Structure 1
Amino acid sequence: MAPPTQHETRRSRREGGAVSRPLPTRRELRERGSADAHHGPAEQPAPAVYRRRRLVAGVLALVLVGGAALAVGGVVSGMTTEAPERTDAVAALIGDARADAPRATVLPAPAQSGQAAAAVEPDAARGEPAPADLCGDPAVSEALASGSDADVIAAAGGAEPFRVAVASGAAPCIDLHAAGRTWVVVNKLNALDPIDYWPEPQARAEGVERTSGGHMRADVAAALSQLVGAARAEGAGEIGVNSGFRSYDRQVSTYRSYVGQLGQRNADLTSARPGHSEHQTGLAVDIVACDAGCGTIERFGGMAQSEWVTANAHRFGFIVRYGDGDTAITGYEYEPWHLRFIGIDLATRYAEGGYRTLEDFFGLPAAPEYAG
């Protein structure tokens, strides 16, 4: 974001399944039987002589059918051993007959309820690391107390274990509001703590052109010098500083200036309210292209320097904080010039994981609007 004299802008489930017919009740079955009995006169019993004749005929029929079945079995057996090609023909006929027969319908098992339905695979089974108890690890506690932020991440086992623990809520000792930490997340929902934080020590990036004061945290200045040197050596062109650290009081005047010109709603898409600005942390820097004199931040997007920075900033600990199309999460429009330092370990994991916002990276809710 630019100071008041150089205002920056930003570009703007399937329902299915047959309904089963309910089975008839016993009463309905009885009523149906009674109705069927009245369809015609009841059949009269045959005389005894005819009943005896029918019995004898039935027995003879059973004998004949049994003998025929044995004969057919022998024929089929002979076909199996002597004429395989005939067996295929018989099998085809049998298959056709079976195809005409009604088939059983396999019904899906009813949905389960309770714990079994709610069970979720453990993270390890999905190939995801389980969150570590960072706050119970003495090494992490010691690094938090007297080490650097890089020491804390190393004690946690690296950038990904650190990120997973924080995003899962398993690391309450990692304060994302703490203004002095490189992992701080300041946005429209998260204010800095303390709100009037002033980073020390500060420095300017050596060997880097600037169009304003250009101060920032000393470690950020050193990293920016390396980034600019690499861009130059790799043929991307010159990069300069447009804006670095801005104090709480300076942000008060900057924000008021935007509100006066654009109205508060539009100003909130362009300028952070005091205590909610990344520039106040000393970890953010707006950059410009300086091939033949330094241009404006509005002209940075699409230039060779911008493309190089997007692909390589993580090598030096930076990310492009406000990406194209991420306004619904960050609350700000696209700013290809706004770099945010989070350290090489986290920035590398951020790039490798394909993350686009710090909110997603650390499992935080989107922050498109201020809470009040």
Structure 2
Amino acid sequence: MSDARHPRHASRPPRVLAVALPIGLAVTALGALWALADVLPAGDVAPPVPMVAAQLPGVDRATVDAVDPCAEPAVTDALASGDDEAVIAAFGGGEAFRDAVAADNAPCISLADPERRWVVVNKASAVVPAEFEPAGLIEGPIRMTTPSHLIREDAATALGAMAGALEASGAGTIGMNNAYRSYQLQVSNYVGQVSSQGREAAELGSARPGFSEHQTGLAVDVVACGGGCGPIGAFGGTPESEWVSEHAWEHGFIVRYESGATGTTGYEPEPWHLRYVGPALASAYHEGGFHTLEEFFGLPAAPDYAH
């Protein structure tokens, strides 16, 4: 993804926030100016009103001063530590983080950084660099049904906890069809899909090399394994799928490609495709009623590739 596609990622000075005054305060302020104009001789210019918005009753001074969350020491320290949850907490939580990013008021946050849980990979935003390989890949913690058995460690821990909670609920058992796929493996996967289906049909379910969430190590495809693991295409409509749809967010995952979102994501529904964003962002996503990461971060829809 380049800064040209998402201007919010470019380096820029902090934004100055406009403060919206309550109607009563606005009327009072205007009334004071009109009264002052009445007592001045014609042609005179009214002196500046010394009271600024932050001094008016009911206006939080901190709201005016905190124009750039990225300037806060807690944020810079958390970013330097590499702890994504600490960064989000320093912003004030998942909702505040999302609001800052969507409002283009978080210059230190790049949605193109594949190392971060908040990275957005879609048909308009490639993984950069193209052959990126995430650090901290480990074996998946649940039954695996393909050779794609690696996943990022933080996502693996959450996946194991989610699988345990699902089984304890009586909803069945899940396995891992695949998670991390390298650039080269995605080349093979994509070429095979295009060969068997044609490009247009294939691209509704398979990303071009360099444009796959799986390359980040944060995406995982799950399957129902109640009486033997089935294919991913049979996951939808199972008790496991229904449980995942309702509870995945409690473990830091979202269902990335939901029904009805093809016009935004460019992919047909994939109830098996889970994306790890961490507990804070998953909670804000769920509570906000979002259905795509594009909506969540205020990004344009990305149903098609540029070329």
| Same fold (TM > 0.5) | yes
CA distance in 2, matches of 1:295, 1:313: 20
Shift in Å, 1:219: 1.0
Shift in Å, 1:197: 1.0
2:132 corresponds to which residue? 197
Whether 1:148 aligns to 2:107 is no
**Mapping of residues 276-291 of structure 1, within 5 Å:** 276-291=211-226
Q: Which amino acid aligns with 2:155?
A: V
Secondary structure in structure 1 of the residue aligned to 2:146: coil
Shift in Å, 1:122: 3.7
TM-score (norm 1): 0.64
- Whether the aligned pair in 2 keeps the contact of 1:217 and 1:282 (CA below 8 Å) is yes
Secondary structure in structure 1 of the residue aligned to 2:263: helix
- Whether the aligned pair in 2 keeps the contact of 1:132 and 1:161 (CA below 8 Å) is no
CA distance in 1, matches of 2:248, 2:190: 28
CA distance in 2, matches of 1:290, 1:138: 47
1:22 corresponds to which residue? none
Structure having the higher Rg: 1
1:314 corresponds to which residue? 249
- Whether the aligned pair in 2 keeps the contact of 1:132 and 1:165 (CA below 8 Å) is no
> Which range moves more in the overlay, 235-244 or 138-147?
138-147
1:71 corresponds to which residue? none
- Whether the aligned pair in 2 keeps the contact of 1:198 and 1:280 (CA below 8 Å) is yes
Secondary structure in structure 2 of the residue aligned to 1:135: helix
Equivalent of 2:278, from 319, 343, 351? Answer: 343
Secondary structure in structure 1 of the residue aligned to 2:254: strand
1:260 corresponds to which residue? 195
1:212 corresponds to which residue? 146
Q: Which amino acid aligns with 2:243?
A: W
List per-residue Cα deviations over 1:290-312 (Å, max 9, x = no partner).
01100011111011000000000
CA distance in 1, matches of 2:236, 2:223: 9
Whether 1:187 aligns to 2:122 is yes
2:240 corresponds to which residue? 305
Shift in Å, 1:173: 1.3
CA distance in 1, matches of 2:297, 2:22: 19
Equivalent of 2:111, from 149, 171, 176? Answer: 176
Residues 222 and 294 (structure 1 numbering): CA distance in 2 closer, same or farther, change over 3 Å?
A: same
**Mapping of residues 148-167 of structure 1, within 5 Å:** 148-167=83-102
Q: Which amino acid aligns with 1:247?
A: S
Q: Which amino acid aligns with 1:209?
A: R
Shift in Å, 1:204: 2.2
Q: Which amino acid aligns with 1:318?
A: F
1:50 corresponds to which residue? none
Residues 300 and 172 (structure 1 numbering): CA distance in 2 closer, same or farther, change over 3 Å?
A: same
Q: Which amino acid aligns with 1:198?
A: E
Shift in Å, 1:196: 1.2
Shift in Å, 1:326: 0.3
Secondary structure in structure 1 of the residue aligned to 2:99: helix
**Mapping of residues 233-252 of structure 1, within 5 Å:** 233-252=168-187
Secondary structure in structure 1 of the residue aligned to 2:245: helix
Q: Percent identity?
A: 53
Shift in Å, 1:205: 3.0
1:295 corresponds to which residue? 230
CA distance in 1, matches of 2:271, 2:107: 32
Residues 121 and 229 (structure 1 numbering): CA distance in 2 closer, same or farther, change over 3 Å?
A: same
List per-residue Cα deviations over 1:197-254 (Å, max 9, x = no partner).
1012111233x21101321001111110000000000111000010111000111111
CA distance in 1, matches of 2:234, 2:200: 24
CA RMSD of aligned residues (A): 1.9
Give unmatched runs, 5+ long, in structure 1.
1-119
CA distance in 2, matches of 1:157, 1:134: 9
